[in-house]
Amino acid sequence: MKTAVIVFVNSRDQHSRFLGKALYTLLSRQYYIFSRFESQFPMCRIENTLAKIKEVVQNTGIDRIIVSFGVRLLPSNLSSVEKLIEKRTDNLVFLKKLRGSKTWSLVNGRLSFDNYRIADTGIFILNSEDVLQTKENHFNKFIRDLIVADKLKPVFVKWWVFSNSRR
């Protein structure tokens, strides 16, 4: 299965040590980097995210795309993502359980809260076929459609991702 990586770099990543040559060494495959701010990378406004993903898919003939929102959202070694998705054919979202964050919910009309919440890591694995078939223009609406159609599966990961901290 032919896979490519798209990274959408945001303004908080400006001081990341991975924005230079280090980023390219992490991406050992076909990759595309787009920026949300003026930089050395091609610009892609937030509202054009899905259009840019479609453009890459249409022009490359890839089967799947790894989408990372922010440089800090790449695992320290992309091969760990590849191992997790090797035998999976679903669209995937990488999630992590965070402790100590009180999250309220309503379940069957009853109020409840847990001391953890689930957050996405900003990494999505998308099948090209689903990207090309969607009539949506907005990435979040596309994700909602995948959820409604039961085409987006969770993958819980133990690692959190790069920090863009300068410490």
Contact status, residue 37 vs residue 10, Cβ threshold 8 Å:
yes
Among the listed residues 91, 162, 102, the one whose alpha carbon sits nearest the alpha carbon of residue 127: 91
Quote the pTM value: 0.82
Backbone angles phi, psi at 130, to 5 degrees: -70, -35
Amino acid at 37: F
Alpha-helical (H) ranges within 70-164 are 78-85, 128-133, 139-148
Question: For residue range 25-35, what is the model confidence (pLDDT) as tens digits?
Answer: 666 678 898 99
Work out whether the CA dihedral 150, 64, 25, 38 comes out positive or negative. negative
Query: What CATH number is given for 3-156 in this structure?
Result: 3.90.550.10
Contact status, residue 62 vs residue 2, Cβ threshold 8 Å:
yes
3-state secondary structure of 103: strand
* Mean pLDDT computed over 123-136: 95
Contact status, residue 82 vs residue 103, Cβ threshold 8 Å:
no
Res 17: pLDDT: 63
Question: For residue range 87-120, what is the model confidence (pLDDT) as tens digits?
Answer: 888 999 988 887 766 777 788 888 887 777 777 7
Backbone angles phi, psi at 142, to 5 degrees: -60, -45
Res 142: pLDDT: 97
Residue showing tokens 């790894």:
66
